[in-house]
Chains A and B, each alone.
Chain A
Amino acid sequence: DVKVTQSSRYLVKRTGEKVFLECVQDMDHENMFWYRQDPGLGLRLIYFSYDVKMKEKGDIPEGYSVSREKKERFSLILESASTNQTSMYLCASSLEGQDNSPLHFGNGTRLTVT
């Protein structure tokens, strides 16, 4: 079974801090994704990656960056955290080459920026 692990369940950071959210998957999936989940808005795609050292912007990339140095690890970076980035962050992975491959999600990181 695919396991997607997000390193922190809860994080509290101060405005202006640099924040790293880490995600690791154990099934050799090529595709990895970062979403944020907010009530009433569903999931919105921040960034995604189809390969090591490759990244593409999603629908709401502003204020975020990502890093994928190894296939199994995909990091989300908040360069200077702001209160409007308080949210639930979800990492996901899927197989490449299968357009209808389901996403496998981690349990999420609830980030609070004060």
Chain B
Amino acid sequence: AQSVAQPEDQVNVAEGNPLTVKCTYSVSGNPYLFWYVQYPNRGLQFLLKYITGDNLVKGSYGFEAEFNKSQTSFHLKKPSALVSDSALYFCAVRDQGSARQLTFGSGTQLTVLP
């Protein structure tokens, strides 16, 4: 079985500071990992994904995520937060070769304070 955990329901950060949104996962094989963002009253938008290769993945809007196999983590990061980054962020995982569908985390509400 596959699962994903986002341990923080809410993250607050000041504008201009670095931000991190945490995600840990559990799979029996190798993972495909994704981050999505949801703005108010909208559907989810794809940010970035890890498939294989380089552990640091760069995505849209200046976001990046680091895959850490030993810690089974895939934390989302941005060097300098913007107020417009305030949104709900979802991590998702799919076990390569054994699962056909994504499993989503419960979401983390990011608030960037001006």
Residues of chain A having any CB pair with chain B under 8 Å: 4, 9, 33, 35, 40-45, 48, 58, 90, 92, 99-100, 102-108
Q: Which of B13-21, B68-76, B79-87, B103-111 sits within the interface?
A: B103-111
* A107 and B32 in contact, given A42-B105, A48-B101, A102-B49 (Cβ under 8 angstroms): no
**A108, B90: Cβ atoms under 8 Å?**
no
Q: How far is the CB of B80 from chain A (nearest CB, A)?
A: 25
Using Cβ atoms and an 8 Å threshold, which residues of chain B touch A100? 32, 49, 51, 94
Residues of B bordering A, CB below 8 Å: 9, 32, 34, 36, 41-46, 49, 51, 90, 94, 96, 101-102, 104-107
| Cβ-defined contact, A43 with B90, below 8 A | yes
Contact A102 B46 (CB under 8 A): yes
Cα(A104)–Cα(B102), bound, Å: 13
* B42→A107 contact, CB < 8 A: yes
Residues of chain A contacted by B32 (CB below 8 angstroms) = 99-100
Tell whether, in the assembled complex, residue B43 and residue A42 are in contact, meaning their CB atoms are under 8 Å apart: no
A106–B45 Cα distance when bound, in Å, is: 9
Apart from the given pairs A103-B36, A104-B46, A107-B42, 16 other A-B contacts in the complex at a CB distance below 8 Å: A9-B41, A40-B9, A42-B104, A42-B106, A42-B107, A43-B90, A92-B43, A99-B94, A99-B96, A100-B49, A100-B94, A102-B46, A103-B102, A105-B44, A106-B43, A108-B42
Given A42-B90, A58-B101, A99-B96, do A105 and B107 touch, yes or no (CB 8 Å)?
no
How many Å lie between the Cα of A99 and that of B44 in the bound state? Answer: 19
B43's contact among A41, A44, A99, A107, by CB below 8 Å, is which? A107
